[in-house]
């Protein structure tokens, strides 16, 4: 709103007209799951009209880099890139490499990479790419990234955008014009998305398309630019920095892999890539300091810092695989911290059936949420699939403190850590998560104190010593933050920058990117100097990683010679007199490295970064318009239809993402999509999202009267056109049906929804909020029950925003009749017994496989 | 309506004029706190300026108000009035966010003289070029008009006795003939659309009808010029309900007492901002000395007119209106009726002098008649 008041134009792209649309300058409706087609159209508009910020693009991106001559595009292979293996359903990325570097990925195991979501592990350090790349600065070489990009997006015309997304060409032109005209030397445009955008089978590539546009227009590393994720919770950024993910360790260090990282050296070398540029070169120091934080005195250089204690991953341990493993009886126990998968996770029925087949389940939450009560009150109890008297899972409910009842930090989307004070004591037996984890660890440690078993050594040796205070022995959150920051074992002083981390075991540091948050022994995250008492960058409000830098890659805010691109957008500049970078922000660059610096031929790591390489975490120092490796499903984003779609892909024979992760099982049936028959059984598109009034799965809002009454019951929204087609009336009952479940609610017939014209037919979209479940003040069916588990292959995130369904007036059947009702639908769709989703819908798979194999000569 | 000149509103200092206060005790512009006995040293009059042009409809104000003032919940009723499930200001809802969902055509707005009505700066109509064929707004209005809400208060949020009026309202903004029966959808494509949001609250009138009629003194004027019910004095007579020209005040069933916004009197006394203003993330609700707020509002109005939002207007800021100006006033993007606000509220006690004069004349006449009767018996 402040940006708008200051003259910014807000463009809002969403399947629904929301409160945000109401306040935006332009509203653009779109069919759910077609973002790459829309953004690809913008890429084409930029390249066709040569509207890219050419000096920026040439100097700071890989536009000029030459790609292997064995590479084949989706243009050539009907929607597949070269290297696709129809047997395993993944790509061999050899042919995607820069010319002459094809061997760089030879030892890779693409199947393992998808199983373990390895691209997520590459989130910031990038896969191995040499800094020495052949370039054509004229951008004319047919195999330079610029030309490849141009050919790849040539099909994404405004007419095609309309056929796929339903966006009228005039409206598309407005957006394309506004975005490009507002970018360049003098102006920048920001791209903001809510994290629902990531919840697609092409989730990572959605964001990649946005990144391509922002790089082409010079909107990265500059004030007012960037790509901002609006997080769904207060500290989602924090929970990837210090992760709650199976394949990552703090600071984006990868979780060791049983097959690939047998020794400490294997693990560390795989991160620092000795031959490449950038700050990952110092990974040995980050790793050693983390191990010292875990195992304290027990971790020494001689014993590889207790590397043998580290758990290893050997496949897909993501949440959806785990749930299926629960159903199969492979998992015995489950701890839930402030999470309500019985409502919040997709395919809720599978979630609940999995939780009903455990030995024990611990739920820590503010209220008695559905994940603690599914065994006595759920749709499965209604249908008889779960019998409360027979459910074997022993559930332990432990009351948890809320965010105002404990201290700690939140890390928001700008990587800003903000300290929260405790406002009041938690009631009764409610305790903080920190309290619970600390004392659980302490008790387990005490129980194992006398054990001589080797397997107990990691717990016996773990460093678990924090100052306690108060009546209930609450651990000090500041002491934890201090450990995360890191300190020297020799002096006991806290470290100021991660450059002080050592690989010889003389420093302790829990998360290298957070180093500096406790600089000088002061909690920097607790700084609250008002904005008007400091510069507009406000460096003294909280603390941002890394090194309190507010804009990442801000070297790009100056031209290659180190001068601001324009006075208006000045942010960082090279000061010849003092020999260092000056500006409003901390330089995200070596402070005294001049713009003219050029590395020698043997230089490695940070030394290999030239004075005009702003993307200091990339192996070649450049922003990637084209990703030679690191992504499972292709070097460039390509429009694929969602895994369930009522229409055929208009661009290629390949219908959906060919590398997506599917779990074809009876409890996870996927609908037929073109070119399969019976698509008309589930003819409509549905998407789910939140209401402002409720919080995610409702654990914090449906149980509070003053919040519950604001949106008092489950409803879903349809356009007047769809209402007429299905006989739905405003405030009447209706229900939505998929192969997985059926959800009823009151119908809101509203002008805020519109049908779309997609490929010469009308497509209706249904919008549903997903907050409800059978518990709390306000109750209702859980919308996420409708989805099937199909995942993005890069990071294993679910397709949770676009599916197909049918809609009917009236209430759904209740009790065992419901199962028969769903079965009847599946029967009509021809998927009653089992549905094997066809992954490849083109004849080009063999050709792609051939192209990918270098042993038969490639092309 | 053409772009109007920014109105010069008399400042609080102008209004704090002893002569004015004496003359306008019943009706007309004045500063109410000195008149109520706090004298000329009373603190400046405090109030709300609610700028609906930046309201995002989050309802944080409703929740913050209930939390701070310990106002009971109003129950779970889906009203089907867009995203409004509160319904109205009641004894149990002291802030109420209204949502107005309307397919409008900019031409029709212009014809009506509203020019933009919240559409300024919109580049293209929301649904232009899309295969739309019908509008839902009249149907939504008709159905919503039948949904009352059991709020535990009286009169609370009863169903509308006139569903037809709601439909007429919805169709008027479409520029359609207003003879559509409830439940019947008019034809025609919808291309443009607006969704207005507005956080309503007690207006804390300069001449407060509720206060004027309160027989127990439960309703009183604070030193900040606001109007507050004292819960330990209110006897539940309900006169204030008919005294309020905005229909704000309401009684709680069970205890019978009247409850409404106190402008967080307890917080004000501690120099704190009222809970709703504190919680408002976009500063749609602004709190401060009324004087300053009026200046700020005039500047804001100028700005909106400059950028083409010519339908923008202030509501309740004029000390010469029927209630002597509101302590809580608004910036609206269209006519007050669009938001369900009375266009020209007048304090019922305005006619008090005239009524007393009439009564006095009647009494005199009566006395004269009696006198004549008595005199007449004496030949």
Q: Is the pLDDT of residue B281 over 60?
A: yes
Instruction: Say which residue, B68 or A845, is predicted with more confidence.
Output: B68
Cβ contacts (< 8 Å) between B122 and chain A: which residues? 25-26
What does the pLDDT read at residue B219? 98
The answer to whether B205 and B244 have CB atoms below 8 angstroms apart is no
What's the gap between Cα B157 and its chain centre? Answer: 16
What does the pLDDT read at residue A102? 78
Tell me the shortest Cα–Cα distance from A19 to chain B, in angstroms: 6
Q: Is the pLDDT of residue B184 over 70?
A: no
B12-346, CATH topology level? Alpha-Beta Plaits (3.30.70)
Please give the helix or strand (H or E) that residue B161 lies within, else none.
Answer: none
Tokens of A533: 């008492």
| Same-domain check for residues A695 and A812 | yes
The answer to whether A624 and A590 have CB atoms below 8 angstroms apart is no
Vertex A420, ends A418 and A426: CA angle to 5°?
Answer: 155
| Same-domain check for residues A329 and A302 | no
In chain A, positions 230-249, which contact chain B (CB-CB < 8 Å)? none
- A398: three-class secondary structure by DSSP: strand
Q: Is the pTM for the entire model greater than 0.90?
A: yes
Nearest CB neighbour to B56, from listed A23, A720, A751:
A23
Instruction: Quote the domain boundaries for residue A5.
Output: 1-26
Q: Does A168 touch chain B (CB under 8 A)?
A: yes
| Same-domain check for residues A692 and A705 | yes
- Distance in angstroms (rounded) separating the CA atoms of residues B295 and B312: 16
Tens of pLDDT, residues A250-302: 999 999 999 999 999 999 988 887 766 777 888 999 999 999 999 999 999 99
| Same-domain check for residues A283 and A356 | no
Q: Is the pLDDT of residue B115 over 70?
A: no
| Same-domain check for residues A302 and A321 | no
* H helical segments located in chain B: 12-15, 18-23, 32-33, 60-69, 106-111, 137-144, 163-172, 209-213, 239-243, 265-269, 275-279, 290-306, 352-377
Q: Is the pLDDT of residue A394 over 70?
A: yes
The answer to whether A120 and A630 have CB atoms below 8 angstroms apart is no
Determine, for residues A712 and B76 on separate chains, whether the beta-carbon distance falls below 8 Å.
yes
Mean pLDDT of A738-752: 97
Q: Does A713 touch chain B (CB under 8 A)?
A: yes
Q: How many domains are contained in chain A?
A: 3
- How would residue B320 be classed by pLDDT, with cut points 50, 70 and 90? very high
- Distance in angstroms (rounded) separating the CA atoms of residues A297 and A822: 59
CA-to-CA separations, A82 to A79, A102, A589, A853, in angstroms, rounded: 10, 13, 36, 9
| Same-domain check for residues A720 and A827 | yes
- Distance in angstroms (rounded) separating the CA atoms of residues A632 and A643: 17
- Distance in angstroms (rounded) separating the CA atoms of residues A140 and A624: 18
Tens of pLDDT, residues B39-50: 999 999 999 999
What does the pLDDT read at residue B300? 97
Q: Does B103 touch chain A (CB under 8 A)?
A: yes
Q: Which of B60, B76, B125 is the mutation pick for testing A, counting most A CBs within 10 A?
A: B76
Tell me the shortest Cα–Cα distance from A53 to chain B, in angstroms: 25
| Same-domain check for residues A673 and A764 | yes
Residue A190 DSSP one-character state: -
- Burial (0-12, 13-18, 19+ Cβ within 10 Å), A385: middle
Share of chain A above pLDDT 90, in %: 87
- A22: three-class secondary structure by DSSP: helix
3-state secondary structure string across A193-222: EEHHHHCCCCHHHHHHHHHHHHHHCCCCCC
Q: Is the pLDDT of residue A607 over 90?
A: no
B81: closest chain A residue by CA: A748
Tell me the shortest Cα–Cα distance from B277 to chain A, in angstroms: 16
3-state secondary structure string across B34-58: HHHHHCCCCCCCEEEEEEHHHCCCC
Outline where DSSP puts E strands in A520-670: 543-544, 572-575, 580-583, 661-662
Task: Report yes or no on A578 lying in a domain.
Answer: no
- Distance in angstroms (rounded) separating the CA atoms of residues B187 and B135: 7
Using a CB cutoff of 8 Å and minimum separation of 24, what contacts does A580-585 make? A581/A555, A583/A554, A583/A557, A584/A535, A584/A536, A584/A537, A585/A537, A585/A539, A585/A549, A585/A550, A585/A551, A585/A554
Cβ contacts (< 8 Å) between B185 and chain A: which residues? 720
Task: Report yes or no on A572 lying in a domain.
Answer: no
| Same-domain check for residues A681 and A695 | yes
What's the gap between Cα A50 and its chain centre? Answer: 31
Mean pLDDT of B341-365: 87
Tens of pLDDT, residues B145-160: 999 999 999 999 999 8
Tokens of A516: 């500096």
* Phi, psi for B148 (deg, rounded to 5): -85, 180
Mean pLDDT of A479-503: 97
Q: Is the pLDDT of residue B5 over 60?
A: no
Tokens of A404: 């105002």
- Distance in angstroms (rounded) separating the CA atoms of residues A336 and A370: 12
Nearest Cα neighbor of A281 from A498, A489, A114 is: A498
The answer to whether A115 and A793 have CB atoms below 8 angstroms apart is no
| Same-domain check for residues A252 and A369 | no
- Distance in angstroms (rounded) separating the CA atoms of residues A803 and A790: 11
CA-to-CA separations, A276 to A75, A251, A618, in angstroms, rounded: 32, 19, 9
- List CB contacts of A110: < 8 A, sequence separation 6 or more: A85, A88, A90, A91, A92, A93, A632
In chain A, positions 352-371, which contact chain B (CB-CB < 8 Å)? none
- Distance in angstroms (rounded) separating the CA atoms of residues A114 and B236: 70
Q: What ipTM does the predicted assembly reach?
A: 0.93
Q: What share of chain A is helix, strand, coil (3-state, %, to 5)?
A: 30, 15, 55
Question: Packing angle between helix A319-327 and helix A348-355, nearest 10 degrees?
Answer: 50
- How would residue B185 be classed by pLDDT, with cut points 50, 70 and 90? very low
Residue B154 DSSP one-character state: E
Determine, for residues B76 and A27 on separate chains, whether the beta-carbon distance falls below 8 Å.
no
Cβ contacts (< 8 Å) between A5 and chain B: which residues? 54
Q: Does A577 touch chain B (CB under 8 A)?
A: no
Parse chain B into domains and list their residue ranges.
12-346, 352-379
How many residue contacts between A and B have a Cβ separation below 8 Å? 149
| Same-domain check for residues A807 and A719 | yes
Tokens of B59: 């309802």
Tokens of B120: 């300024």
Tokens of A126: 């990038």
Nearest CB neighbour to B136, from listed A17, A707, A720:
A720
Determine, for residues A752 and B282 on separate chains, whether the beta-carbon distance falls below 8 Å.
no
What does the pLDDT read at residue A357? 98
What does the pLDDT read at residue B227? 98
| Same-domain check for residues A703 and A775 | yes
Partners of residue B288 on adjacent β-strands: B47
Nearest CB neighbour to A168, from listed B78, B128, B133:
B128
Nearest Cα neighbor of A710 from A775, A783, A777 is: A777
Task: Report yes or no on A794 lying in a domain.
Answer: yes
In chain A, positions 601-660, which contact chain B (CB-CB < 8 Å)? none
Please give the helix or strand (H or E) that residue B258 lies within, else none.
Answer: strand B258-259
Tell me the shortest Cα–Cα distance from A4 to chain B, in angstroms: 10
- Burial (0-12, 13-18, 19+ Cβ within 10 Å), A49: exposed
Task: Report yes or no on A707 lying in a domain.
Answer: yes
Task: Report yes or no on A469 lying in a domain.
Answer: no
Determine, for residues A19 and B58 on separate chains, whether the beta-carbon distance falls below 8 Å.
yes
A340-354, A830-844, B354-368: which is most confident: A340-354
Buried b (16+ CB within 10 A) or exposed e, A147-172: bbbbebbebbbbebbbbbbbbbeebb
Task: Report yes or no on A541 lying in a domain.
Answer: no
Tens of pLDDT, residues A614-628: 998 888 889 999 999
Tell me the shortest Cα–Cα distance from B333 to chain A, in angstroms: 13
Average pLDDT of chain B to the nearest whole number: 89
In chain B, positions 132-151, which contact chain A (CB-CB < 8 Å)? 132-137, 139-140, 143-144, 147
Q: Does B323 touch chain A (CB under 8 A)?
A: no
Mean pLDDT of B18-30: 88
Q: Is the pLDDT of residue A857 over 50?
A: no
The answer to whether A141 and A63 have CB atoms below 8 angstroms apart is no
Average pLDDT of chain A to the nearest whole number: 94
What does the pLDDT read at residue A124? 44
Question: Does residue A688 come out as left (phi exceeding 0), alpha (psi in the -120 to 50 range) or beta?
Answer: beta
Determine, for residues A27 and B101 on separate chains, whether the beta-carbon distance falls below 8 Å.
no
Question: Does residue A765 come out as left (phi exceeding 0), alpha (psi in the -120 to 50 range) or beta?
Answer: beta
Give the gyration radius of chain B's Cα atoms: 23
| Same-domain check for residues A504 and A403 | no
- Distance in angstroms (rounded) separating the CA atoms of residues A699 and A452: 43
In chain A, positions 171-190, which contact chain B (CB-CB < 8 Å)? 171, 174, 178
The answer to whether A786 and A803 have CB atoms below 8 angstroms apart is yes
Determine, for residues A171 and B128 on separate chains, whether the beta-carbon distance falls below 8 Å.
yes
Q: Which of A169, A703, A709 is the mutation pick for testing B, counting most B CBs within 10 A?
A: A709
Nearest Cα neighbor of A656 from A645, A671, A670, A669 is: A645
Q: Does B82 touch chain A (CB under 8 A)?
A: yes
Residue B283 DSSP one-character state: S
């Amino acid at each position: 709103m402040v940006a708008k008041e200051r003259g910014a134009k807000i463009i809002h792209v969403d399947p629904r007209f929301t409160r945000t649309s109401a306040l935006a300058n332009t509203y653009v409706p779109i069919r759910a799951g077609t973002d790459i087609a829309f953004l690809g159209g913008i890429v084409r508009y930029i390249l066709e009209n040569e509207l890219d910020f050419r000096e920026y693009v040439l100097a700071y991106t890989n536009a000029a880099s030459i790609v292997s001559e064995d590479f084949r595009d989706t243009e050539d292979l009907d929607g597949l890139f070269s290297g696709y293996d129809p047997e395993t359903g993944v790509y061999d990325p050899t042919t995607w490499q820069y010319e002459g570097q094809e061997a760089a990925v030879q030892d890779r195991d693409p199947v393992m990479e998808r199983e373990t979501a390895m691209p997520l592990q590459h989130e910031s350090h990038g896969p191995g790419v040499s800094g020495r790349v052949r370039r054509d600065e004229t951008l004319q070489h047919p195999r330079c990234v610029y030309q490849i990009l141009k050919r790849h997006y040539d099909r994404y015309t405004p007419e095609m955008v309309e056929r796929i997304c339903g966006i009228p060409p005039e409206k598309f032109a407005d957006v394309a014009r506004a975005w490009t005209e507002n970018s360049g030397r003098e102006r920048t445009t920001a791209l903001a998305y809510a994290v629902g955008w990531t919840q697609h089978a092409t989730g990572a590539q959605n964001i990649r398309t946005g990144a391509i546009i922002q790089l082409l227009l010079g909107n990265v590393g500059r004030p007012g630019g960037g790509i901002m994720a609006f997080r769904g919770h207060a500290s989602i950024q924090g929970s990837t920095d210090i992760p709650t993910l199976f394949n990552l360790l703090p600071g984006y260090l990868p979780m060791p892999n049983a097959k690939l990282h047998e020794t400490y050296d294997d693990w560390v070398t795989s991160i620092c890539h000795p031959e490449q540029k950038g700050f990952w070169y110092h990974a040995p120091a980050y790793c050693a300091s983390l191990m010292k934080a875990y195992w304290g005195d027990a971790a020494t250089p001689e014993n590889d810092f207790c590397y043998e204690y580290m758990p290893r991953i050997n496949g897909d341990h993501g949440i959806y695989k785990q749930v299926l493993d629960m159903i199969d009886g492979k998992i015995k126990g489950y701890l839930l911290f402030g999470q309500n998968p019985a409502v919040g996770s997709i395919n809720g029925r599978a979630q609940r059936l999995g939780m009903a087949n455990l030995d024990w389940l611990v739920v820590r939450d503010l209220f008695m949420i559905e994940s603690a009560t599914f065994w006595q009150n759920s749709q499965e109890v209604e249908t008889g699939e779960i019998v409360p008297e027979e459910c074997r899972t022993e559930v332990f409910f432990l009351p948890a403190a809320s965010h105002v009842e404990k201290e700690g930090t939140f890390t928001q989307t700008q990587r800003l850590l903000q300290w929260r004070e405790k406002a009041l004591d938690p009631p009764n037996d409610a305790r903080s998560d920190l309290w619970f984890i600390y004392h659980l660890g302490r008790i387990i440690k005490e129980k194992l104190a006398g054990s001589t078993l080797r397997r107990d050594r990691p717990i016996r040796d773990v460093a678990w010593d924090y100052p306690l205070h108060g009546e209930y022995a609450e651990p000090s959150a500041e002491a934890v933050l201090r450990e995360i920051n890191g300190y020297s074992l020799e002096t006991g002083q806290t470290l100021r920058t991660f450059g002080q981390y050592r690989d010889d075991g003389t420093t302790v540091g829990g998360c290298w990117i957070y180093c500096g948050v406790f600089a000088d022994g002061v909690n920097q995250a607790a700084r609250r100097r008002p904005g008007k008492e400091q510069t507009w960058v406000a460096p003294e409000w909280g603390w941002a990683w890394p090194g309190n830098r507010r804009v990442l890659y801000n070297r790009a805010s100056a031209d290659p010679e180190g001068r601001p691109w324009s006075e208006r957008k000045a942010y960082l500049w090279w000061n010849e007199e003092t020999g260092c970078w000056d500006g409003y922000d901390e330089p995200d660059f070596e402070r005294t490295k001049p713009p003219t610096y050029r590395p020698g031929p043997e230089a490695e790591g940070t030394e290999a970064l030239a004075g005009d390489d702003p993307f200091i975490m990339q192996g070649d120092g450049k922003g990637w318009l084209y990703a030679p490796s690191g992504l499972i499903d292709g070097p460039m984003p390509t429009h694929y239809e969602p895994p369930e779609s009522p229409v055929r892909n208009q661009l290629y024979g390949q219908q959906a993402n060919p590398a997506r992760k599917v779990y074809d099982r009876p409890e996870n049936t996927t609908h037929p999509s073109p070119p399969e028959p019976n698509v008309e059984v589930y003819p409509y598109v549905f998407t789910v999202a939140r209401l402002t009034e409720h919080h995610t799965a409702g654990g914090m809002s449906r149980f509070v009267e003053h919040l519950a009454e604001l949106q008092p019951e489950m409803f879903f929204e349809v356009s007047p056109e769809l209402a007429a087609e299905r006989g739905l009336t405003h405030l009447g009952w209706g229900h939505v049906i998929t192969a997985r479940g059926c959800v009823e609610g009151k119908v809101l017939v509203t002008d805020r929804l519109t049908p779309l014209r997609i490929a010469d037919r009308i497509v209706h979209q249904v919008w549903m909020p997903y907050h409800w479940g059978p518990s709390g003040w306000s109750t209702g069916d859980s919308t996420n029950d409708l989805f099937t588990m199909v995942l993005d292959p890069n990071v294993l995130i679910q397709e949770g925003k676009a599916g197909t369904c049918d809609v009917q007036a009236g209430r759904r059947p209740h009790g065992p009749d419901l199962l028969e009702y769903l079965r009847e639908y599946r029967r009509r769709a021809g998927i009653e017994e089992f549905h094997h989703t066809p992954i490849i819908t083109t004849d080009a798979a063999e050709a792609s496989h051939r192209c990918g194999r270098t042993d038969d000569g490639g092309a | 309506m053409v772009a109007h000149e920014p109105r010069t509103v008399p400042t609080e200092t102008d209004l704090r004029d002893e002569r004015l206060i004496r003359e306008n005790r019943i009706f007309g512009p004045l500063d109410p706190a000195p008149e109520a006995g706090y004298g000329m040293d009373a603190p400046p009059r405090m109030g709300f300026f609610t700028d609906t042009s930046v309201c995002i409809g989050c309802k944080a104000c409703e929740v913050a108000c209930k939390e701070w003032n310990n106002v009971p919940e109003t129950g779970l009723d889906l009203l089907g009035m867009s995203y409004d499930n509160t319904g109205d200001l009641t004894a149990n809802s002291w802030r109420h966010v209204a949502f107005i969902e309307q397919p409008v055509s900019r031409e029709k707005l212009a014809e009506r003289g509203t020019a933009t009505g919240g559409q300024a700066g919109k580049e293209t109509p929301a649904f232009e070029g899309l295969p739309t064929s019908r509008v839902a707004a009249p149907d939504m209005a008709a159905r919503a008009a039948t949904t009352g809400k059991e709020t535990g208060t009286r009169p609370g949020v009863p169903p509308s006795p006139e569903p037809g009026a709601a439909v007429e309202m919805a169709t008027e903004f479409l520029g359609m003939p207003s003879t559509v029966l409830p439940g019947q959808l008019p034809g025609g494509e919808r291309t443009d659309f607006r969704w207005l949001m507005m956080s309503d609250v007690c207006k804390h009138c300069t001449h407060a009808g509720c206060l004027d009629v309160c027989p127990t003194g439960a309703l009183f004027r604070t030193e900040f010029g606001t109007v507050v019910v004292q819960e330990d004095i209110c006897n539940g007579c309900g006169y204030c309900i008919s005294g309020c020209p905005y229909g704000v005040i309401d009684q709680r069933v069970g205890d019978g007492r009247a409850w409404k916004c106190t402008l967080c009197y307890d917080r004000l006394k501690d120099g704190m901002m009222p809970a709703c203003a504190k919680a408002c993330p976009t500063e749609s609700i602004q709190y401060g000395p009324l004087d300053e707020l009026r200046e700020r509002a005039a500047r804001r109005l100028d700005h909106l007119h400059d950028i083409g939002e010519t339908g923008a207007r202030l509501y309740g800021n004029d000390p010469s209106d029927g209630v002597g100006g509101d302590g809580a006033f608004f910036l609206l993007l269209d006519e007050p009726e669009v938001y369900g606000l009375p266009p020209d509220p007048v304090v019922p006690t305005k006619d008090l002098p005239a009524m007393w004069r009439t009564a006095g004349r009647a009494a005199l006449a009566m006395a004269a008649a009696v006198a004549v009767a008595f005199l007449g018996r004496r030949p």
